Amino acid sequence: MLLRIIKTIFRCLIWMTIAFSIIFPLIFFFGAKPFGILEAKYDLFRGRYEIHGYGLIHGEPQYAPILKKYGVRYRHIAGCVITDFIIDSVASYNFAMKDAIERNLGLNLDEIWMSLYGTKCHWPTSEELHTAEEFGKTSSKKPVNGSQEFQTIMQTPIMRAALTFVQICLT
């Protein structure tokens, strides 16, 4: 019996090593867009519907309570320290999730958006977000505080993937 448990644990460790050796280089070299899509597909596989957001906010966005009625959760990913990886992964995640929500739940997000804001729903691509980011950049590149460097390191593709994997294992 004990030998069977040890074999099972060893087999799991081998599969985890294989998965890490495949997933980490893919995420590192191909970036955040595939990561956001893979994360969305994994959430859909688990039956979770979420819309991700980032930036400084005060409470939930206006559309979050409406989506919550249909089982779609709003999840705030990052606050004041936002990297290119976060922008790309959130844009690709929301784009993939929007299609799945409309297809699987029968929700028309454009109508919900239109009722709240009076305009058509537009999910920006990562290129549009980077263009907007370039427009709003300031000339100073100095970190505001010492912890900003640590937070930037924690948002690298490898660290983000490792933290997501740990989160998946713990749930």
Provide the pLDDT confidence category of residue 18 given band limits of 50, 70 and 90. confident
Q: What is the pLDDT of residue 64?
A: 79
Q: What is the pLDDT of residue 35?
A: 75
Residue pLDDT, tens place only, 39-89 = 888 888 888 898 888 877 767 777 778 788 888 888 888 777 777 778 888
Provide the pLDDT confidence category of residue 17 given band limits of 50, 70 and 90. confident
Average pLDDT value over all residues in the chain: 72
Return the minimum-mean-pLDDT range out of 138-142, 150-154, 163-167: 138-142
What is the DSSP track for the chain? Answer: -HHHHHHHHHHHHHHHHHHHHHHHHHHHHH-HHHHHHHHHHHHHHTT-EEEEEES--SSS-TTHHHHHHTTEEEEEEESS---HHHHHHHHHHHHHHHHHIIIII---HHHHHHHHHSS------HHHHHHHHHHT--S----SSTHHHHHHHHTSHHHHHHHHHHHHHH-
Q: Give backbone dihedrals phi and psi of 118, rounded to 5 degrees, phi first.
A: 75, 10
Q: What is the pLDDT of residue 141?
A: 42
Q: What is the pLDDT of residue 142?
A: 41
Provide the pLDDT confidence category of residue 148 given band limits of 50, 70 and 90. very low
The stretch 131-148 carries a mean pLDDT of 44
